[in-house]
């Protein structure tokens, strides 16, 4: 798009999707990079890198009838200023500000990145008894907010392709996680809703994959890191017809197989590959590898590298 049209086009987008006005601060040229996903149920998730600017919802815009709740999560940079009705807060990275879309609001930030979620009022009211009680407040950083941010961030990845059905499911998950982050009054208990379980499992799986190389990787370690009990971690994996141990073993074997078949790793011995994938016992690695692939590690290497 021609440079001279970009600011106006972004303003049009914000106004039509979120009902917001935008202005640069301190005469700084407007620089924005945004990935936005709008889901069938009306949930909107946006990840934005922003130059100094302000966003506002004015009295004129409130007339559009949109009554979504908005949750704004600063990710880095200087803490932005939020105003909603009579309330005014400054929220640092990891905190969040929750406010209703049917009232005037204002956000001013320096250069930063921010995660924004817009949830239809009716949808959120189905997930918790009284979302209004948390409106116009700063939510301090918490495990629940971190879980929500991780799940929402994954939805903004441009490589993630979802069917309309899966997008609707993801929107419900986001709604459940927002309700969890706002307080402990989710109907049926914090973890009764499927969106919370799905998000917890996704984040734990990603954490496992980042730490496969660690031989001390354990269910107890994951439980401590995510603020839940080892028993609950095991229950999440049982819900997927597997166990924590079996998932870790399968992923380690798959990574080792990929490395053995990749000429890039030809300079590494089989034992070095096994240890780099988290195996501490070479004979156990050989045994489980052969049982999984009906080939020895040497067979795989010869077939693909030698």
The yes-or-no verdict on residue 279 having pLDDT over 60 is yes
CATH among 2.60.120.10, 1.20.120.10, 2.40.50.140, 3.50.50.60 for 3-210:
2.60.120.10
Q: For the segment 99-132, what is each residue's pLDDT rounded down to a tens digit?
A: 988 889 999 999 999 999 999 988 888 777 678 8
**Domain-by-domain residue ranges, the chain?**
3-210, 252-304
Q: What phi and psi, each to the nearest 5 degrees, are found at residue 301? A: -65, -45
Model pLDDT for residues 223-277, shown as the tens digit of each residue:
887 777 888 889 889 888 999 999 999 999 999 999 999 999 999 999 999 999 9
Give tens-digit pLDDT for 147-172.
888 888 888 886 778 888 888 888 88
Homologous superfamily in CATH for domain 252-304: Homeodomain-like (1.10.10.60)
pLDDT at 190 over 80: no
Q: Could you tell me the pTM of the whole model?
A: 0.63
Output the pLDDT for position 227.
Answer: 73
Give the model confidence (pLDDT) of 40-89 as tens digits. Answer: 888 999 999 999 999 898 888 888 777 889 999 999 988 899 999 888 99
| pLDDT for the residue 184 | 53
Residue 252 has what pLDDT? 96
The packing angle between helices 194-210 and 244-260, to 10°, is: 40
Contact 202, 239 (CB under 8 A): no
pLDDT of residue 186: 34
- Checking if the pLDDT of 173 tops 90, the result is no
Nearest Cα residue to 131 out of 164, 179, 89, 94: 179
pLDDT at 191: 53
């Amino acid at each position: 798009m021609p440079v001279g049209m970009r600011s106006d086009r972004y303003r049009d987008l914000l106004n039509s999707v979120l009902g917001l006005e935008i202005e640069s601060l301190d005469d700084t040229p407007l620089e924005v990079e945004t990935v936005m996903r709008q889901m069938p149920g009306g949930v909107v998730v946006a990840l934005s890198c922003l130059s100094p600017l302000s966003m506002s919802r004015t009295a004129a815009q409130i007339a559009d009838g949109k009554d979504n709740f908005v949750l704004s999560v600063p990710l880095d940079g200087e803490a932005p200023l939020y105003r909603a009705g009579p309330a005014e807060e400054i929220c640092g990275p990891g905190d969040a500000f929750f406010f209703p879309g049917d009232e005037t609001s204002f956000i001013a930030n320096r250069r930063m990145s921010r995660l924004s979620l817009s949830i239809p009022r009716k949808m959120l009211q189905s997930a918790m008894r009284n979302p209004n009680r948390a409106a116009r407040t700063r939510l301090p950083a918490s495990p629940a907010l971190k879980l929500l941010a991780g799940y929402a961030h994954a939805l903004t990845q441009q490589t993630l392709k979802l069917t309309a059905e899966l997008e609707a499911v993801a929107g419900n998950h986001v709604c459940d996680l927002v309700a969890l982050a706002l307080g402990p009054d989710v109907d049926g208990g914090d973890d009764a809703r499927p969106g919370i379980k799905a998000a917890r499992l996704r984040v734990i799986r990603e954490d496992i994959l980042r730490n496969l190389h660690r031989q001390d990787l354990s269910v107890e370690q994951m439980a401590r890191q995510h603020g839940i009990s080892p028993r609950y971690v095991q229950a999440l994996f049982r819900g997927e017809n597997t166990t924590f141990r079996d998932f870790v073993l399968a992923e380690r074997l798959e990574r080792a197989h990929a490395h053995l078949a990749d000429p890039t790793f030809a300079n590494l011995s089989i034992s070095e590959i096994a240890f780099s994938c988290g195996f501490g016992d070479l004979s156990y690695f050989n045994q489980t590898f052969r049982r999984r692939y009906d080939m020895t590690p040497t067979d795989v290497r010869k077939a693909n590298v030698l």
